């Protein structure tokens, strides 16, 4: 199958949607499909060979955060040219309600269109403002996917219709292999880890710093943010116990996860899926997470209801202090959680997720009313890199 995937957010900066798009492309390629990704990216940013750059993006406030988006006449021209060259069996758009490439592609697409919704903001200002425009535009979508129940709820409440739930994926084998060779850390210490944008308030760094201050443990921070500002915010007791790796590649992130005795995700909300939680489980790292919907869904076994990690109040530093102290002092409990986590994360491995996405593609191809006759869906050459070449 020839698949075109559009990412609305720039690859110049790491993010959950960007990672999802690239990992899905790789997973589909391993299954024997030809995939090309269109995404904003500057010439200086390294990208996989299956990515077609759509130019630099502009940072704008979007749904309570800052998104790097690409739009305008030049972007529309690039979208049209990419679609014409691709001759895709199915077009997969991520976040088509964001004012960027996915929305442009949807406006001119012909043939089966699958849309994935990631947004978890309960009252999306953008969706509310553009409802009259978005509703008729989204009628062009053949099949819809939501990465979580919350993302599905946001879509249904704002735009009507429905979507099938397919979670984000993680490369379990790759993360586990990298985590087996952890980054160095001081001997004789216990380490609590944090992965994410540490200067974004909803990620909960403030709570974690307060919770760790009374404990005899180091903090290992992985992710983007203002390091100098973080150092200024440190409680006196933590001044010499914080190591910041900053933004790193996926392999280094997995190695950092392998060096952590506990991964802490103290987010206050606004998450559609707990991708960092799933990565921690894949690394075999015990996870202490805020008891919010997105994280609870990842950690909790749907059959038994048993959590594969700790779920803690997102607004109670004292509860985090007590829970982390107990867990750091109990290696047996940490081993048990690691075993449970590895079992739970199998549900989010890209092998399973990509197979579910392919089933949606097949339904979309069969159901699309704009085709006089649906094309034969046959395996195409494996993901080879480079650009899509038109069919002869």
Range of the domain at 90: 2-169+349-367
When mean pLDDT is compared across 117-131, 348-362, 367-381, the lowest value belongs to 367-381
Q: What confidence score (pLDDT) does residue 272 get? A: 77
**CA–CA dist 83, 312 (Å, integer):** 46
From the list 170, 146, 29, the residue with the least C-alpha distance to 94 is: 146
Instruction: Looking at the structure, tell me whether residues 90 and 219 fall in a common domain.
Output: no
On whether both 237 and 93 belong to a single domain, the answer is no
- Which of the pair, 381 or 132, is modelled with greater confidence? 132
Q: Flag whether 140 is in a domain.
A: yes
* Same-domain status, 19 and 136: yes
8 domain-assigned: yes
Q: Is residue 381 part of a domain?
A: no
* Inside any domain, residue 156: yes
* pLDDT digits 0-9 by tens, 149-165: 878 887 776 666 788 99
84 belongs to a structural domain: yes
Is the same domain home to 192 and 86? no
In a domain, 117, yes or no: yes
* Shared domain check, 125 and 248: no
Q: Which residues in 224-233 are b (16+ Cβ under 10 Å) and which e?
A: bbeeeebeee
**Among 213-217, 259-263, 377-381, which stretch is predicted with the lowest mean pLDDT?**
377-381
Number of domains forming the structure of the chain = 2
Per-residue pLDDT at 106 exceeds 50: yes
> Is residue 337 assigned to a domain?
yes
CA distance 17 to 144: 16
In the chain, the percentage of residues whose pLDDT exceeds 70 is 87
Q: What is the dihedral of CA 267, 273, 274, 279, to 10 degrees?
A: -150
C-alpha–C-alpha distance, residues 112 and 370, integer Å: 8
Residue 127 and residue 99 share a domain: yes
Same domain, 178 and 161: no
Q: Are residues 149 and 255 in the same domain?
A: no
What is the CATH number for 115?
3.40.50.2000
pTM: 0.80
Let me know whether 20 and 149 are in one domain. yes
The 10s digit of each residue's pLDDT in 17-50 is 999 999 999 999 999 999 999 999 999 999 999 9
Instruction: Compare 375 and 220 and report the one with higher pLDDT.
Output: 220
Weakest-pLDDT range from 30-34, 119-123, 177-181, 191-195: 119-123
């Amino acid at each position: 199958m020839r698949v075109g995937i559009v990412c609305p957010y720039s690859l110049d900066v790491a993010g959950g949607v960007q990672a999802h798009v690239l990992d899905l492309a790789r997973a589909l390629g391993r299954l024997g499909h030809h995939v090309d990704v269109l995404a904003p990216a500057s010439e200086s940013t390294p990208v996989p060979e299956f990515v077609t750059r759509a130019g630099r993006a502009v940072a704008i406030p979007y749904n309570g955060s800052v998104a790097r988006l690409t739009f305008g006449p030049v972007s529309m021209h690039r979208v049209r040219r990419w679609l014409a060259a691709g001759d895709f069996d199915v077009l997969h758009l991520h976040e088509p309600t964001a004012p960027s490439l996915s929305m442009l592609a949807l406006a001119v697409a012909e043939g089966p269109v699958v849309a994935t919704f990631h947004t978890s903001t309960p009252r999306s200002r953008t969706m509310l403002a553009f409802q009259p425009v978005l509703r008729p535009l989204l009628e062009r979508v053949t099949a819809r996917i939501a990465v979580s129940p919350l993302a599905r709820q946001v879509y249904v409440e704002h735009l009507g219709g429905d979507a099938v739930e397919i979670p984000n994926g993680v490369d379990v084998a790759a993360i586990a292999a990298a985590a087996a060779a952890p980054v160095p850390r001081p001997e004789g210490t216990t380490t609590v880890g944090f992965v994410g944008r540490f200067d974004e308030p909803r990620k909960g760094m403030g709570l974690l710093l307060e919770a760790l201050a009374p404990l005899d443990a180091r903090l290992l921070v992985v992710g983007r943010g203002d390091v100098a500002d973080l150092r200024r915010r440190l409680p006196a007791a933590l001044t010499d116990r914080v190591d910041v790796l900053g933004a790193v590649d996926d392999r280094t992130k997995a190695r950092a996860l392998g060096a952590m005795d506990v991964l802490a995700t103290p987010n206050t909300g606004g998450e559609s899926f707990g991708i960092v939680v799933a990565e921690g489980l894949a690394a075999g790292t015990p996870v202490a997470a805020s008891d919010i919907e997105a994280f609870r869904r990842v950690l909790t076994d749907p059959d038994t209801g048993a959590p594969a990690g700790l779920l803690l109040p997102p607004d109670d530093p004292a509860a985090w202090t007590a829970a982390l102290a107990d867990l750091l002092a109990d290696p047996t409990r940490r081993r048990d959680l690691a075993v449970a986590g590895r079992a739970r994360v199998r549900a989010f491995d890209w092998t399973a997720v990509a197979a579910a996405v392919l089933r949606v593609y097949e339904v979309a191809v069969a159901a699309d009313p704009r085709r006089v006759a649906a094309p034969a869906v046959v395996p195409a050459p494996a993901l080879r890199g480079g650009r899509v070449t038109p069919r002869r």
